[in-house]
């Protein structure tokens, strides 16, 4: 810990006053990992077998180590290289200066011209800061973000499989396990989509059913397909059209009777503002990686709240580290929907040894440890690092 003064205190100019008792960043430990799925992950014409991420550990002069995770779907080296550029900026800085550090890092060099990339990279660092702050305070992160507004977060049952028979079997199991919302990937061909959706609807009874084509459809295709799926009583269709157009989503929403959720098209608070102003969606799926951190997520969620639009936690291909971070957001975000997304259950092994992050009947209560409240399984981390080092990428 340190005390002293530096800089001029202006946000975004590299200056801030140090306080007595500040906990200072002494280093970033960055570990590229490959997370392997239990079974092939089918979505919108793609099949993935796993995903690269970067474990971000923020070391401090108090001996506290904050843990975070940056998603890195292209290559972890890109993320680690970018964070190494950021590292000199944050060394010696207080862990509590989250907003200033992220602001300054986000405006470093060409990050200015790659805001989405910057957000995805920096989110793991920002997540680790919150973990460290919580550990220092002896408080779970959700209590640092305003406190819990609900006792538990509701998650969806994520149907996995390739054939209709496999999907039906999994959907039946998820419904029997008590998930109230069932979520199915579509965008896998019109005939297969109609067949799979109808078959899943049949075995889940009155459970709510959401489908996600992951941007696979044009505007006319989306309108045609959503009308074709409407008899299956669809709770919402997630991001049917290109992520690059608010107009496309609005056109679809105005033409169909099924609610529309925005996902890939809405990443930041700015996007949330645009989409709710243009009445382009009924709900917004959002993650701290997309928004640029937990704090940025809260700001984006607040804009949606002002418009009466619910936020749904959106999972990329991540471990329980991110799922835990998102759970803290879910506990503390007033306008959260039900049927949120988690991903760690799809992995051969999670990086988190405790606590258990598996919903019971779709519900997961508070995580009460300090910070994110997770203990890493260091053997699992080592195996994931080894997989990445061996060149496993997708």
Taking the least distance from each CB to Mg ion, the nearer of 22 and 290 is 290
Q: What's the closest the beta carbon of residue 185 comes to Mg ion, in angstroms?
A: 9
Q: What's the closest the beta carbon of residue 260 comes to Mg ion, in angstroms?
A: 12
**What residue ranges bind Mg ion (CB under 5 A)?**
212, 238, 263
CB 236 within 8 Å of CB 261: yes
Taking the least distance from each CB to Mg ion, the nearer of 131 and 212 is 212
In order, the DSSP letters of 91-143 are TT-BTT-HHHHHHHHHTSGGGGG-HHHHHHHHHHHHHHHHHHHHHHHT-BHHH
Taking the least distance from each CB to Mg ion, the nearer of 157 and 369 is 157
Q: CA-to-CA distance for 239 and 44, rounded, in angstroms?
A: 11
Taking the least distance from each CB to Mg ion, the nearer of 261 and 347 is 261
Q: What's the closest the beta carbon of residue 43 comes to Mg ion, in angstroms?
A: 9
Of the candidates 72, 129, 113, 137, which has an alpha carbon nearest to the alpha carbon of residue 325? 129
Q: What's the closest the beta carbon of residue 284 comes to Mg ion, in angstroms?
A: 11
Taking the least distance from each CB to Mg ion, the nearer of 238 and 290 is 238
Q: CA-to-CA distance for 237 and 218, rounded, in angstroms?
A: 14
Taking the least distance from each CB to Mg ion, the nearer of 125 and 297 is 297
Q: What's the closest the beta carbon of residue 213 comes to Mg ion, in angstroms?
A: 9
Distances (CA, A) of 158 to 35, 96, 183, 359: 18, 36, 5, 12
Q: CA-to-CA distance for 243 and 275, rounded, in angstroms?
A: 12
Q: What's the closest the beta carbon of residue 105 comes to Mg ion, in angstroms?
A: 27
Taking the least distance from each CB to Mg ion, the nearer of 55 and 186 is 186
CB 1 within 8 Å of CB 23: yes
Of the candidates 304, 313, 296, 302, which has an alpha carbon nearest to the alpha carbon of residue 279? 304
Q: Nearest 5°: CA angle at 330, between 327 and 332?
A: 115
Per-residue DSSP letter, 365: -
Q: What's the closest the beta carbon of residue 285 comes to Mg ion, in angstroms?
A: 6
Helix-then-strand count for the chain, H and E: 13, 14
Q: Which helix (H) or strand (E) holds 293?
A: none
Q: What's the closest the beta carbon of residue 312 comes to Mg ion, in angstroms?
A: 9
Q: What's the closest the beta carbon of residue 369 comes to Mg ion, in angstroms?
A: 29
Q: CA-to-CA distance for 292 and 126, rounded, in angstroms?
A: 8
Q: Do you find a cis peptide bond into 355, omega within 30 degrees of 0?
A: yes
Taking the least distance from each CB to Mg ion, the nearer of 69 and 263 is 263
Task: Find the residue with minimal CB distance to Mg ion.
Answer: 263
Taking the least distance from each CB to Mg ion, the nearer of 58 and 272 is 272
Integer Rg of the chain from CA: 21
Q: Which helix (H) or strand (E) holds 298?
A: helix 294-306
Q: What's the closest the beta carbon of residue 263 comes to Mg ion, in angstroms?
A: 4
Taking the least distance from each CB to Mg ion, the nearer of 212 and 290 is 212
């Amino acid at each position: 810990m340190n005390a002293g003064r530096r800089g001029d205190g202006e946000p975004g100019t590299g200056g801030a006053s140090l306080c007595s008792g500040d906990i200072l960043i002494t280093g970033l430990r960055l570990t590229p990992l490959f997370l392997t799925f239990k079974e092939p992950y089918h979505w919108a014409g793609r099949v993935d077998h796993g995903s690269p991420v970067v474990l971000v550990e923020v070391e401090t002069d108090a001996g506290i180590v904050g843990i975070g995770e940056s998603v890195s779907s292209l290559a972890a080296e890109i993320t680690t290289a970018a964070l190494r550029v950021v590292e000199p900026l944050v060394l010696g800085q207080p862990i509590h200066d989250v907003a200033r550090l992220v602001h300054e890092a986000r405006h470093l060099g060409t990050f200015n011209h790659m805001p989405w990339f910057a957000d995805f990279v920096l989110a793991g660092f920002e997540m680790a800061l919150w973990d460290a702050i919580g550990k220092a305070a002896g408080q779970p992160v959700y209590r640092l973000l305003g406190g819990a507004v609900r006792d538990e977060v509701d998650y969806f049952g994520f149907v996995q499989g390739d054939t209709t028979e496999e999907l039906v079997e999994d959907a039946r199991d998820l419904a029997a396990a008590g998930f109230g919302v069932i979520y199915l990937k579509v965008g896998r061909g019109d005939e297969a989509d109609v067949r799979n959706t109808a078959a899943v609807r049949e075995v889940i009874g009155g459970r709510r059913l959401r489908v996600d084509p992951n941007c696979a459809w044009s505007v006319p295709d989306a309108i045609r397909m959503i009308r074709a799926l409407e008899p299956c009583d669809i709770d919402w269709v997630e991001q049917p059209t290109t992520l690059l157009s608010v107009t496309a989503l609005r056109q679809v929403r105005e033409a169909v009777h099924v609610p529309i959720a925005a996902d890939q098209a809405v990443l930041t608070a700015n996007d949330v503002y645009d989409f709710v102003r243009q009445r382009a969606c009924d709900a917004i799926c959002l993650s701290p990686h997309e928004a640029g951190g937990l704090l940025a997520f809260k700001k984006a969620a607040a804009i949606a709240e002002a418009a009466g639009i619910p936020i749904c936690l959106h999972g990329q291909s991540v471990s329980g580290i991110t799922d835990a971070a998102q759970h803290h957001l879910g506990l503390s975000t007033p306008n959260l929907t039900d049927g949120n997304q988690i991903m760690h259950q799809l992995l051969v092994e999670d990086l988190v040894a405790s606590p258990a992050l598996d919903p019971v009947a779709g519900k997961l209560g508070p995580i009460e440890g300090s910070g994110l409240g997770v203990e890493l399984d260091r053997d699992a981390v080592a195996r994931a690092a080894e997989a990445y080092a061996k060149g496993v990428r997708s």
